[in-house]
Chain A
Amino acid sequence: MQQFGSDLVFILLFGLSYGLVLFICAIGLVITMGLMHVMNLAHGAFAAIGGYIAVGLMNGAGVPYAAAIAISVILVTLFSLVLERLVYRRLYHADHLEQVLMTIGINLIVIGGLTICFGPNLYPIRLPDFLKGNVNLGIREFEIYRLFVIALGLVVVVGLWALFDRTQFGAKLRAAVDNRSIAQVIGINVDRMFQIAFGLGSGLAALGGAVGAAMLPLEPYYPMKYLLLVLVVVALSGFGNMKASLGVAIFVGIVDTAGRFLVPEFGGFIIYLLLIVLMIWRQDGLFARRNA
């Protein structure tokens, strides 16, 4: 019984921390897809770049953990704004094929570029001392680092909720997502909205990549490797449903963890099979919305 309790807590806590990292990485894509209907398969690249810059600053220049993450998020956000201007703006009215090709191209460029700069193998992160070690929760021990991830994830959730539900910017953003043309008619600068949303989303991805680097290790193939997982979260939450994506991300984290723990032989399959079945059965995601 003790073992069962410990197992259950393990699945819930580890799944929660894993899911929250996925959430932070994926929420940017949820916003982009919902707002601009752009299939940005290169979203993972921002997470990778964010992670690499943060770890590079820590390893190479001895920058402290928090500062390294903050700097990398700012740099990636700026970079994404430039990219939005030059490249993504033209994709808003392009067809699916062009979006797919362009963003796969960006992915390959980033993968190639990261290898050229950092080598083809693992780029390890050394966690700062205050995040190392375990804490005793009574029923079992739990990594301090994962508690930190959970805490940070919740802060991001609360922050986003405050932004979207409590600010004028958030109201305008939600309006633009719901109905772009009417939003424009009533004077909302939709182009500016896109830019800010894209920057926000990419910055969050960078945060996810940097903070999650100890769980999702950094290597040049990162953008393609976690692409499918991020897409799973986006698709199952219905392409734009930001509130749903939190629940879905945690769900995916827990199911994946539980699958690998309980049925390790097939654990890797479970999440993909779930995706295929759900996509075919409920095309608009688990929480289908009626769109105007």
Chain B
Amino acid sequence: MKQLLTRLGAAMIFAAASIAGAGAQPVVKLGVVGPFTGPFAVMGENWRQGIEAYLAVHGDTVNGHKIEVIYKDSTANPAKAKQLTQELIIHDKVSFLGGYGLSPEANASAPAINEGKVPTFLYHAASPGSMALSPYFVRMGQNIATNAAVSADWALKQGKKKAYIAIADFGPGHDVAKEFRDYYTAHGGTVVGEDAIPLNTVDFSPFAERIAAAAPDYVCMFIPPGAPAVSMVKALAARGVMDKTFIVGQGEAEDSDIHLFDNSILNFRSVIYYSSTQDNPTNKTFLDALKKKFGPNVLPSTFTLGAYDAMALIFRAVSEMHGKAIDGDAVMKSLIGYSFDSPRGKVTIGTDREPIEDFIVRQVQKTSSGMRNVVIETIPQVNPQTFGK
């Protein structure tokens, strides 16, 4: 009985609010699903920073519609991500989705997203296979295979003809290894050794030993950041490999993680698509907004960037909206081929919904504010579909 009365009451209030609200445009909602707690919590934290920074600069209303953001914590569990996605689509009636920190989360949520026809921005998930699972996925970060190809290309341009591939033994690692190997050998390099390092590895000395024995001049590395990356670098340094070879990874030593390493990380190089030191007006606005809202010590990452840029795309979609609701198919169509200025430079959404963007090569160097990743080269406007072909 009490239940019934409560529900009646709620229904009446809702009806009253709807009548009062009629005439104003409906709220457009963005659902953000991903890890906000647990070992990957930094992803969710950074997304929030990026989104709030964008809203601080551009306000929260577009074309008369208020933009509302709902955050849901999946703790990086794919089944949970799927469940939360369903709830956001059915219960909260979101018009856009974003986040999905790890590719399995995106993969698991794809069927629901397809049924709901909701444009979904993968802020940084990098698995090549994800895009095929849903025509509503837009990748804001990078395709890991593209990164590996760029790394292989740069290695050859530096005259490094003997490479060793050392990757962590899981999906993304295998993607990197395959793409690097294919590109490198097709363009004249020799792979002198390859290791798939088990994820539960604690002591990396055997692998450092194997690399030293093979005497490569370039090591293509892909190890999860945190304890594994730190131990690997330590082992390589102890074995004397760090000095003699180019060790090149991706996100193993972001500026926010450098304090975990000792001096053995110096000269570590990485290939990625964003560095906070990039010099362009959009990046300046981005950094200023972040510092204003979160203090002078905030460190923007590729996570922050993906969420920030996605907001720009969402704002554009809402400004083009006719009628009361977002048409997912129309949004996807209008996104293809669209170019915009991102803090990382110019980005174009390709026909495969992957970004065409600049890649940069960084090196860890001693700067006035301690050890930092410094940009040493830029590879402009890499198109995943055409690079190197």
Contact = CB atoms under 8 A, between A and B. Distances in A.
Contact of A261 (B196, B206, B260): B206
B238 A3 contact: no
A141 B239 CA distance: 8
A229 to B, nearest CB: 8
Contact of B230 (A122, A265, A267): A122
B209 A18 contact: no
Contacts of B231: 217
Given A121-B226, A141-B240, A217 B202 contact: yes
A257 B210 CA distance: 12
A264 B260 contact: no
Given A7-B213, A120-B39, A143-B238, A14 B205 contact: yes
B165 to A, nearest CB: 12
Interface in B247-296: 259-262
A268 B201 contact: yes
B200 interface: yes
A260 B201 contact: yes
A138 to B, nearest CB: 16
Nearest to B259: A124
A10 B206 CA distance: 8
A3 B202 contact: no
B206 A120 contact: no
B71 interface: no
B206 A260 contact: yes
Contacts of B197: 264
A122 B226 contact: yes
Interface in A89-138: 120-122, 124, 126, 134
A139 interface: no
Interface in A233-292: 256-257, 260-261, 264-265, 267-268
Interface in A28-59: none
> For this complex, into which size category does the number of interface residues on chain B fall?
20 to 34
B227 interface: yes
A193 interface: no
Contacts of B262: 124, 126
B268 to A, nearest CB: 16
A71 interface: no
B196 to A, nearest CB: 6
Nearest to B239: A141
A75 interface: no
A68 B374 CA distance: 36
A99 B266 CA distance: 48
B226 A264 contact: no
B206 A215 contact: no
B227 A217 contact: yes
Contacts of A257: 203, 205-206
B230 A217 contact: yes
B35 to A, nearest CB: 11
B38 interface: yes
A223 to B, nearest CB: 14
Q: Which of B196, B202, B230 has the most CB of A within 10 A?
A: B202
Given A124-B230, A225-B202, 9 more contacts: A3-B213, A10-B209, A18-B203, A121-B260, A219-B227, A257-B203, A261-B209, A264-B210, A267-B206
Interface of B: 38-39, 41, 195-198, 200-203, 205-207, 209-210, 213, 226-227, 230-231, 234, 238-240, 259-262
Interface of A: 3, 7, 10, 14, 18, 120-122, 124, 126, 134, 141, 143, 214-217, 219, 225-226, 256-257, 260-261, 264-265, 267-268
24 contacts: A14-B205, A18-B203, A121-B39, A121-B227, A121-B260, A122-B230, A122-B260, A124-B261, A124-B262, A215-B203, A216-B202, A217-B202, A217-B230, A257-B205, A261-B206, A264-B196, A264-B197, A264-B198, A264-B207, A264-B210, A265-B196, A267-B198, A268-B200, A268-B201
